[in-house]
Amino acid sequence: DVSIAQAALGTRVKVPTIEGDEEIEIKPGTQPGTELRLRGRGVPHLRRTGIRGDLHVLVNVAVPTKLSKRQRELLETYASESGETIDTNQTGRILNRVRDALG
């Protein structure tokens, strides 16, 4: 898993391979679900000695479930700067969904 900041800004992380950990580059702007391929780092070929398959790494971006007040403010500022609208009234949305479902 990489954090939102790591995915947006880029970083290097270690991933486990058959021969031990290997460091890979997460490029800036990497999206969740991006698949990175490590050529020749996968499982050995059964019939051809000395040849290995590729290891595919799926990037999972971990979204925090609990934010400090400061983290929340920073994300709200980022959203505002990006022109995004954030509806933080969770209770109102749930009640509206119930009303819509009941007709």
- On whether both 56 and 91 belong to a single domain, the answer is no
pLDDT at 77: 92
Residue 6, domain extent: 1-63
- Do residues 23 and 13 lie in contact, with contact meaning Cβ atoms separated by under 8 Å? yes
pLDDT at 103: 66
Tens of pLDDT, residue by residue, the chain (103 residues): 999 999 999 999 999 998 899 999 999 999 999 999 999 998 888 888 889 999 999 999 999 999 999 999 999 899 999 988 887 665 556 666 777 778 6
Distance (Å, whole) CA 46 – CA 73: 54
- On whether both 83 and 96 belong to a single domain, the answer is yes
| Burial class, 26, CB count within 10 angstroms (exposed 0-12 / middle 13-18 / buried 19+) | buried
- On whether both 73 and 98 belong to a single domain, the answer is yes
- On whether both 37 and 15 belong to a single domain, the answer is yes
- On whether both 21 and 56 belong to a single domain, the answer is yes
- On whether both 32 and 47 belong to a single domain, the answer is yes
- On whether both 36 and 74 belong to a single domain, the answer is no
Task: Extract the tokens encoding 89.
Answer: 């009234």
pLDDT at 90: 59
pLDDT at 49: 85
Q: How crowded is residue 88: how many other Cβ atoms within 10 Å of its Cβ? A: 8
- On whether both 46 and 5 belong to a single domain, the answer is yes
Question: Per the structure, how many domains does the chain have?
Answer: 2
- On whether both 49 and 25 belong to a single domain, the answer is yes
- On whether both 59 and 70 belong to a single domain, the answer is no
- On whether both 18 and 46 belong to a single domain, the answer is yes
Distance (Å, whole) CA 13 – CA 11: 7
Prediction pTM value = 0.71
Sequence-distant (≥ 6) Cβ neighbours of residue 63 within 8 angstroms: 4
- Do residues 33 and 59 lie in contact, with contact meaning Cβ atoms separated by under 8 Å? yes
